[in-house]
């Protein structure tokens, strides 16, 4: 008689655990999203100063002089950030048909980057960079981080509200008086920066007019996906 109560006590946790694994209602996966289009308000310009020759010291002086000239010109502008991306010197080889390769010179390349929100001044900067002897490597317009973060914060709230509206609609169609959100995930989508080809950006007419550029727009989006649970309900088969 003493063993029976002990067996009952041991079985109770197993029964409770099995009940916890059972869903309390019908589970449904839902997804929703919110998006907006904003004008690009920031530009990223990359250019390189490149020289090739036999005298390594002379190459360094030429690259330094060109880089300094461009920096001094751009330093006069407001709301502009400059930084050096890379600098490397490599040997230039000659490969004769019958013989060992020979070093015939050096090639020095320094890459620079300029970031600014002063879009109106971009054509003048491009013109100054090219006239100083540098080569434009890339030009892209994008939405700045400050604007992007503010927009994403609001889009996240809008996407969650759309998720709840969709869950409310589904619950109503199944005659459910309430629903429970079991899982909710959010993901953001940032636009690809608008790229301008260097050849098109630096194209000018015979009068050396500054290039005509368009900053364009970018689309931001936030997606929300999750799972809701509705109370079990019996529906007539007919």
24-41+144-191+217-233 CATH fold: Translation Initiation Factor IF3 (3.30.110)
Q: Is the pTM value of this prediction over 0.85?
A: no
**pLDDT tens digits, 9-46:** 333 444 444 455 566 899 999 999 999 999 999 999 99
Asked whether the beta carbons of 22 and 227 are under 8 A apart, the reply is: no
Q: Taking the CB of residue 44, how many other CB atoms lie within 10 A of it?
A: 16
Enumerate the domain spans of the chain.
24-41+144-191+217-233, 42-95+105-142
Quick: pLDDT tens for 39-90. Answer: 999 999 999 999 999 999 999 999 999 999 999 999 888 889 999 999 999 9
Quick one: tokens of 186? 């959010």
CATH architecture, domain defined by 42-95+105-142: 2-Layer Sandwich (3.30)
CB 216 within 8 A of CB 141: yes
Question: Roughly what angle, to the nearest 10 degrees, separates helices 122-131 and 56-75?
Answer: 160
pLDDT in tens, 102-119: 899 999 999 999 999 999
């Amino acid at each position: 008689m003493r063993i029976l109560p002990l067996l009952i006590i041991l079985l109770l946790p197993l029964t409770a655990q099995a009940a916890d694994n059972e869903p309390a209602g019908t589970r449904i996966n839902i997804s929703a999203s919110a998006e907006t289009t904003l004008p690009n308000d920031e530009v990223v310009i990359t250019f390189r100063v490149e020289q090739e020759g036999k005298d390594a010291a002379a190459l360094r002086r030429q690259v330094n002089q060109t880089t300094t000239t461009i920096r001094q010109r751009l330093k006069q502008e407001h709301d502009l950030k400059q930084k050096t991306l890379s600098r490397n010197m490599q040997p230039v080889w000659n490969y004769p048909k019958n013989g060992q390769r020979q070093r015939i010179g050096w090639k020095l390349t320094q890459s620079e980057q300029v970031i600014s929100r002063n879009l109106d001044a971009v054509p003048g900067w491009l013109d100054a960079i090219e006239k100083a002897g540098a080569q434009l490597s890339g030009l892209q317009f994008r939405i700045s981080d400050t604007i992007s973060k503010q927009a994403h914060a609001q889009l996240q709230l809008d996407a969650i509200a759309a998720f709840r509206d969709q869950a409310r609609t589904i619950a109503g169609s199944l005659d459910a008086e309430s629903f429970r959100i079991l899982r909710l995930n959010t993901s953001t989508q940032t636009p690809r920066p608008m790229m301008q080809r260097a050849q098109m950006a630096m194209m000018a007419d015979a009068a050396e007019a500054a290039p005509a550029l368009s900053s364009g727009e970018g689309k931001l989006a936030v997606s929300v996906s999750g799972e809701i649970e509705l109370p079990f309900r019996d529906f007539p088969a007919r």
